[in-house]
Amino acid sequence: MEESQSLTNQYNLAADIIKTAILQSQHEAAKSVNRVQLLLYYNIGKYLSAKTRKGMWGTNALQSISDKLRKDLPGLRGFSATSLKKMRLFYDNWIMIDANSSVATDELNLPDSSVTTDGLNTISLRFPNITDFPVEDFFRIPFTHHVEIYSRVKELNARYYYIHRTAEEKLSIDRLKRIISDDAYGNQISIPNNFPHTLPNAIMARKAVMMFKDEYLLDFINVEEIGERESIDIDERVVEKQIVENIKKFIMTFGNDFAFIGNQYHLEVYGVEFFPDLLFFNRELNAMVVIELKTGEFKTSYLSQLMTYLRILDDKVRKPHENPSIGIVLCKSANKEFVEYIIQDYEKPMGVATYTTSADMPEKLRKALPDVNELKKLL
């Protein structure tokens, strides 16, 4: 009987500690709801894990704590025994965050951000300062999405991939479930590149790889206007002109956080002038991105041309706080294995992607797409 009463007292104490942590986090919720909520869940999970995994509590611990929380905080949602178990698993699956990091003491700027009873039962509400971890993406996605990811994805890089996609594309939970079921991470085709040994660190290299696709559908390009021309340069200028005229569509196709700087951007060094086709700035990478358009098959000379642009951009245009500029060759076709083999000898960060237009799609797929005029009517 005494042992049962002792456990009940411990459960009540645990509920009081969690309750205090909940209440302390509420005034921060208006500023950053998801970030504060996830941090709260992580630290509650840490506390519960430390108690339950060491056999200090009985099997009904989480249910008892949940019942006490509901009694003390009427109307409280999200703290059932099942939810508390998910919080514990949340911590257990991301324990490396806690184990391999120091604690930043001023991130949340709380007057008193922890509750201590006996020196051991502490739930810290401070933000972990992690050096090799996608912090911003991690705290941008809801807890339900985290549960889906840690429950079904075990490989760390795969988790990073799904966290990033969820954050960038604002995936619904159903959409996230589908892409995990389809093994989007395992089936992804990365752009041939030399980012790992040309960018400042592994984090930026990973971001750059995820930023660019292997192939783009530029369905707004009028292939009839290109037609049968003798000059490749004229073909490329037509493609460039149509991209500039449809710059919003192009940026949406290319990805998030791109800002258009200009086309045929004037560069000059020692009296020699150059005019890269398209120049963008990417906020996520904090770097300029120069795109060289080619209407034919990939050639190694395109990389040399891009190297020249990147050298001048970094020496003459790049600001001190910006990362090295990145170059992308966008051509109609490329032998991926050959590109990956040859691009490693270049010292500037570059990649090679291909593009298709609607005319390049299989007839069956083109017929499946809605007519543009019909779409306009619907809109």
Sequence-separated (6 or more) residues with CB below 8 Å from residue 129: 101, 102, 103, 104, 107
39-43, 229-233, 273-277, 346-350: segment of lowest average pLDDT: 229-233
Q: Is the model's pLDDT at 309 over the cut of 90?
A: yes
pLDDT at 301: 93
Q: Is the model's pLDDT at 1 over the cut of 70?
A: no
pLDDT at 16: 84
Sequence-separated (6 or more) residues with CB below 8 Å from residue 63: 81
Q: What is the mean pLDDT of residues 249-269?
A: 80
Residue 99's pLDDT band (cuts 50, 70, 90): low
More confident residue, 307 or 50: 307
DSSP string, 85-126: HHHHHHHHHTHHHHHT-EE-SSSS--SS----SSSS-----S
Q: What is the pLDDT of residues 196-220, one digit of tens each?
A: 889 888 777 877 877 777 776 565 4
Tell me the pTM.
0.50
pLDDT at 29: 55
pLDDT at 189: 65
Mean pLDDT, all residues of the chain: 77
Q: Are 35 and 107 in contact (CB under 8 A)?
A: no
pLDDT at 206: 73
Q: Are 296 and 332 in contact (CB under 8 A)?
A: yes
Find the angle CA(39)-CA(45)-CA(50) to the nearest 5 degrees: 130
305, containing H or E segment: helix 301-312
In the CATH scheme, what is the code of domain 211-364?
3.40.1350.10
Q: Is the model's pLDDT at 226 over the cut of 50?
A: no
| Beta bridge pairs of residue 267 | 274
Sequence-separated (6 or more) residues with CB below 8 Å from residue 353: 191, 212, 213, 214, 215, 216, 328, 329, 330, 331
CA dihedral 52, 56, 58, 61 (to 10 degrees): -50
* Angle subtended by helix axes 247-254 and 232-245, to nearest 10: 90
Q: Is the model's pLDDT at 270 over the cut of 60?
A: yes
| The two three-digit tokens of residue 284, written as one number | 């996520």
Range of 83-92, 113-122, 330-339 with top mean pLDDT? 83-92
Query: 249, 345, 332: which is closest to 295 by C-alpha?
Result: 332
**Is 291 in a helix, a strand, or coil?**
strand
More confident residue, 68 or 233: 68
pLDDT at 245: 60
- CA–CA separation, 250 vs 262, rounded Å? 13
327, containing H or E segment: strand 326-331
| The two three-digit tokens of residue 295, written as one number | 């209407």
Q: What is the mean pLDDT of residues 34-43?
A: 86
pLDDT at 370: 40
More confident residue, 188 or 229: 188
Q: Is the model's pLDDT at 54 over the cut of 60?
A: yes
Q: Is the model's pLDDT at 56 over the cut of 70?
A: yes
DSSP string, 38-95: HHHHHHHHHHHHHHHTTT-S-TTHHHHHHHHHHHHSTT--S-SHHHHHHHHHHHHHTH
φ/ψ of 267, rounded to 5, equals -120, 145
- CA–CA separation, 114 vs 126, rounded Å? 8
Q: Is the model's pLDDT at 373 over the cut of 70?
A: no
Range of 229-238, 243-252, 346-355 with top mean pLDDT? 346-355
Q: Where are the domains of the chain?
A: 2-133, 211-364
pLDDT at 208: 81
pLDDT at 111: 38
Q: What is the mean pLDDT of residues 33-60?
A: 83
- CA–CA separation, 36 vs 127, rounded Å? 9
| The two three-digit tokens of residue 248, written as one number | 């919003």
